[in-house]
Chains A and B, each alone.
Chain A
């Protein structure tokens, strides 16, 4: 199932090739340029459900990588493996490795808390803490400790500016974050993730609960953020993937079917299933 000889054929240098060194002779999705994160034969199980099947993929540095696929294809599960969120899920099991730089984040000595500061996450539904805007953004710094009040204020302002939210909230930093609109809340969650200066930002369908205007704002934001951060975004919105990303991966029933530069995957998909998905024949 996972073996995709037709997409590993000659002449598609940028696209996946067969990994000669792997027992399962897996599909390894390679990229040109600097690699920020890399999964090697990643498998995720929920109990007996094999949710991610031997996915090997490289995530380019300071670019936007979109992961798309129909509901239940495992794209979110894959994303959550990248900062070990599955540690929180009882019954979830991860095998294989995920490299951040050249460090395996699933190595026994790895400090999960430090990892999650380096790999931040924005969730599907805006999930601000039921506390003030300031408390929300400064939360990551507070749990790290060692920042004084003025450093904290400065970081909060910077993060809110980066998330294009500062002008809207600067006069009400001490008010509850729950008073913000959905789009503002999501940008607050982005600001909150940026405050700990992560290297990678994972976004799990960040716009699916937002209206089109708020979505547009988040997309513009992603465009700006990629100058500083490596971004991986899960989306079931094809246009969004096409608009914001440089690389796109297509997932189906836990398999990575195809991974290529976005332009290429949308104009010349190599796999029939990818083409079917893009042209709206299923999913």
Chain B
């Protein structure tokens, strides 16, 4: 205030204009700056949304021609139907989520609620963050050597859906741990105190208060992880096998090989030998995008239900 007044009086002396004009000009300049910033931010948001919409429409338009029920649900030897890949995509996704979610949340619960903050937790956090930075193709090679191969101390699961799922677990564990940690930390300490003051032990506090309160944020973490898993290619190239078995592809045996939609897409593009490989690749991409969208929306809906169930009737709506 003082500074302005001083400026104004200086301006007044210099220009001989009445003081009120200088103030009005100042206000007008501030208003203009505010508008420019608002419009800039607004256009950035619009551009991003537009890009996404354009991207989705482009992919759908390129691949829509082949997509029908048969393309999605059946398998044929020529490889221009993708039933097995659709099945494998979800099979591997669910298998790795089943392993990844308990591990990741367990790790996060330990780090946030149980571990004494100190050297050990710092090392664990550093390790997970470093793991998050390892390129997925390298983890894929590691997965091949450690899970698929049986030489040099490998576990010898073979090139299989199990080996692929485990590789995805390693790839996505850091993200899930990080997001779950943040989710638990976002629960106010007051709830921990309230629970303890009512005679709950730590385990009861975690399972009855913290996890339900963190559900929206935890779900966001699982959705992010699942999205990455559905689209992951490099980590699976060497671990799940290039081709799905044509007969019995809906088998639940984890030791069978089987490629996902994303791997299938890569292979069609890189080494497809059927006549319409490019067209199948386009349609596969379209299908992948659609499944991803449907899966995300479905998971969010489920999370909303879960949150309402925990929170009681007229709850806050899900933040997820």
Q: Does B137 lie at the interface of the complex (its beta carbon under 8 Å from any beta carbon of A)?
A: no
Question: Chain A interface: which of B97-105, B148-156, B185-193, B232-240?
Answer: B185-193
In whole Å, how far is A124's beta carbon from the nearest beta carbon of chain B?
A: 9
B38 within 8 Å of A (CB atoms): no
Is A142 a contact partner of B191 (Cβ separation < 8 A)?
A: no
Q: In this assembly, does A39 line the interface, its C-beta being within 8 Å of a C-beta of chain B?
A: no
Q: Which of A242-256 contact B (CB under 8 A)?
A: none
Within 187-204 of B, Cβ neighbours of A (below 8 Å) are at 188, 190-201, 204
Q: Is A53 in the interface zone, CB < 8 Å from B? A: no
- Docked CA distance A178–B195 (Å): 16
Closest-CB distance, A70 to chain B (whole angstroms):
23
A81 within 8 A of B: no
Q: A102 CA to B32 CA in the complex, in Å?
A: 73
CB contact list, B62-94 vs A, under 8 A: none
Which of B116, B193, B195, B312 is within 8 Å of A135, CB to CB?
Answer: B312
Determine the main DSSP class of A at the interface with B: helix
| A131–B204 touching, CB < 8 Å | no
Once the chains are docked, how many angstroms separate the CA of A144 from the CA of B204? 10
Q: A142-B208, A176-B314 are in contact. Are A85 and B198 (CB under 8 A)?
A: no
In this complex, which of B194, B204, B208, B212 has the most chain A Cβ atoms within 10 angstroms of its Cβ? B194
| Contact indicator B197/A176 (Cβ below 8 Å) | no
Number of interface residues of B (CB under 8 A): 27
**Within the assembled complex, what's the spacing in Å between the Cα atoms of A120 and B313?**
28
A156 CB-CB contact with B under 8 Å:
no
Chain A residue with the shortest CB-CB distance to B116:
A90
Interface of B toward A, CB cutoff 8 Å: 116-117, 188, 190-201, 204, 208-209, 212-213, 310-316
Chain A residues with a Cβ under 8 A of chain B: 83, 85, 87-88, 90, 113-114, 116-117, 120-121, 123, 125, 127-135, 139-140, 142-144, 172, 174-179, 189, 192-193, 196
Task: Taking A88-B196, A127-B193, A130-B316 as given, write out 6 further A-B residue pairs in contact, using a Cβ cutoff of 8 Å, ordered by the A residue number.
Answer: A113-B200, A120-B198, A129-B209, A140-B200, A142-B208, A179-B314
**What would 22 A/B residue contacts be, using CB atoms closer than 8 Å?**
A83-B197, A116-B196, A116-B197, A116-B198, A120-B198, A121-B193, A121-B197, A123-B194, A127-B193, A128-B194, A129-B194, A130-B213, A130-B315, A131-B310, A133-B312, A140-B198, A140-B199, A143-B208, A176-B315, A189-B194, A192-B194, A193-B197
